[in-house]
Structure 1
Amino acid sequence: MTELAGKVAIITGGSSGIGRGIAERFAAEGAAVVIADVRDEDGEDLVAELTSAGGTAHFRHTDVGDQAQVRELVETTVSAFGGLHVMVNNAGISSPLRKGLFHEDLEEFDRVMRVNLLGVMAGTRDAARHMAEHGGGSVINLGSIGGIQAGGGVSTYRASKAAIIHFTKCAAIELAHYEVRVNCIAPGNIPTPILASSATAEDRERLERFEARIRAQMRDDRPLKREGTADDVAEAALYLATDRSRYVTGIVLPVDGGTVAGKVIVRKPAAERPSP
């Protein structure tokens, strides 16, 4: 398990959920991992776990919605570890749940777009500036199947993820000349704390009911019936981070059990089918 031996990787939003899964997988493969997040205690705890298991890890408090902090993250990583080979722009937040578009006041628009989209754009730019002068590298942006498939609810979040997908393709074209590969992973139906973090106390019960209903619907629509995990996304990220994907750039890789491929066709038992 040394596919990333000698490599340096940054994972934003790396203290929990999908980011944590990627950080754990990269560290297990020998990478020096820098976990960037605003959740200091969780981040430091993860670093302690990874280092106690023999890995190399460092935590840096970073709000990816602040371009100066993203630039400092890249600079301090290069200074501390001597380089940067993989940038995983994973940090993200959800827009609040509303009863419908007519009830949406869009007051969270700037914050969601700043974290979800600006954070990805700044992270890609600043990482690529270093990679372009040092033989290339891999940038992995985390989108969502919500940016591929239209649907009702959390419209600002969906819009931010759709923008990430388009930006990824644009950056891949521009940076290919420098051997910097830029790809996007679009997870779907992976249980993470992102929705819960957007709810107010009075919304918590409604959120739990909403999540249960949505996840049940997604299970029904998903061709693969087993539940997806952060580890599944981490495996996809590992592929895109290594030389196994050296001829791959500008792709959007859904990790969703086949959800975006199409809805499941429910077939009746043979006894109930009409005769031909």
Structure 2
Amino acid sequence: MSRELKDKVVVVTGGASGLGKGIVERSLAEGAKVVIADVQDDLGAKLAAAAGTDALFHHTDVGDQDQIAALIAAAVERFGGLHVMVNNAGRSSPLKRSLFDEDFSEFDSVMRVNLLGVMAGTRDAARHMAEHGGGSIINISSIGGILAGGGVATYRASKAAVIQFSKAAAIELAHYDIRVNCIAPGNIPTPILRSAATEEDREKLEAFEARIRQTMRDDRPLKREGTADDVAEAVLYFGTDRSRYVTGTVLPVDGGTVAGKVITRKSKS
């Protein structure tokens, strides 16, 4: 590792598992002091304990603005600053058979975590960064916020909103030398798809998930499976001076899915 984040303080929401854990581990390997924010206390505390004094776990429900403010304060108190804020925490909306079956019962919950959490995290991190020489804010969206598709309508809407908010914030915060960028992962196995299943469908989820994953592979130009480390690599780029002239962008980390579907060419007989 090149230790590109040496002497930097990084906060990662949703950092106890999935993509967030990958971002935490890569940030630590690059020399950062990392605050792991999550509601999964056991996983978060275990991850922080394994990292030693370079990591702190802080219980945080990103849907609660007071807890976001407390998270930023804890990072500054423990490590003396904040240089990179990764608003990663997210959840899916329930998977329904069709839009006609959607009752939007979890709309408020999904939007609080996926959108309000990003907005409050961006705001509170920027308040500190504006008075301390700037910094980098990285908001995790999804290719579901770029590409239209059926199912998980609330989730898609929340992730599309994250992209638009991030661009607006980038314009406003550039004056303070704060960069705001978006990463849109896709086709990377994480627990979030499993959380989209309703209780009655959970027994069918394994077959459904396998079918969805295969469809994703078929449509993806790059056939290598994406990993959490691929997303962490993108976070590292945005969190360092390598992207010092980059703000307001959306970077799909999806094996080329957003670029378009693979065209199957028939072989000549």
Interval containing the TM-score (normalised by the shorter chain)? over 0.9
Amino acid at match of 2:26: R
Written as runs of structure 1 = structure 2, the 5 A alignment for 1:1-276 is 1-51=2-52, 56-269=54-267, 271-272=268-269
Deviations for 1:192-231, whole angstroms, at most 9, x for unmatched residues?
0012234344321232222211111110000000100000
Amino acid at match of 2:93: S
Equivalent residues, number? 268
Distance 1:16 1:174 in 2: 32
Alpha-carbon shift at residue 50 of structure 1 (Å):
2.0
* Worse overlay, 204-213 or 140-149: 204-213
Alpha-carbon shift at residue 5 of structure 1 (Å):
0.4
Distance 1:264 1:244 in 2: 32
Amino acid at match of 1:35: I
Amino acid at match of 1:238: L
Alpha-carbon shift at residue 174 of structure 1 (Å):
0.3
| Largest Rg, 1 or 2 | 1
Amino acid at match of 1:130: H
Q: Which 5+ residue runs of structure 1 have no aligned equivalent? A: none
Aligned-residue identity in percent: 74
Q: Which 5+ residue runs of structure 2 have no aligned equivalent? A: none
Does the CA contact (< 8 Å) of 2:37 and 2:59 recur in 1? yes
Distance 2:20 2:43 in 1: 12
Distance 1:39 1:183 in 2: 26
Amino acid at match of 1:74: I
Alpha-carbon shift at residue 48 of structure 1 (Å):
1.9
Deviations for 1:3-32, whole angstroms, at most 9, x for unmatched residues?
000000000000000000000000000000
* Worse overlay, 224-233 or 204-213: 204-213
TM-score using structure 2 length: 0.98
Does the CA contact (< 8 Å) of 2:95 and 2:198 recur in 1? no
